[in-house]
Amino acid sequence: MEERKLTCIVCPMGCQLNISLEDGKISSISGNRCNRGSVYAHEECTAPKRMLTTTVRVIDGFHPFVPVKSDKPIPKEYLFKCMNLIRAIKVKAPVKSGDILIQDICGTGVNIMAARTIPRAEKQEVS
């Protein structure tokens, strides 16, 4: 039997979960104050997912990068592949907060959205 300890991150209570695993399957969970903790423990032990936050290059923007985030958690095994794809793209200003910059990234069903508005950079007049 294997014992695992996890902190539930579903709400700010941060319950300490004690998980017993037998042959890779959960046999008991304790420490959770609600069922969402149990769901989280099952997901974390079988198919862990993470929200992805990073930046994307912006062409002709007021800032050279826009912060982006996934609209849902991404399976952990896809994070590296998704990060490589995001690193390779550039978007043209203006970018509006909430714009979907990548749809269904790596076939995960998750969209990558702009988390901030980046206006176009003002061109300087040369006289």
Closer residue to ligand SF4 (CB): 10 or 93 = 10
CA distances in angstroms from 93 to 47, 58, 62, 107, 114, listed in the order given = 36, 6, 8, 26, 12
Residue nearest to ligand SF4 (CB): 37
- Write out the two tokens for 80: 């590296």
Rounded Cα distance between 7 and 30, Å, is 12
Q: Which of 2, 13, 46, 104 binds ligand SF4 (CB under 6 A)?
A: 13
Least distance to ligand SF4, CB of residue 61, Å? 38
Q: How many residues bind ligand SF4 (CB under 6 A)?
A: 11
Interface with ligand SF4 (CB under 6 A): 8, 10-11, 13-15, 32-34, 36-37
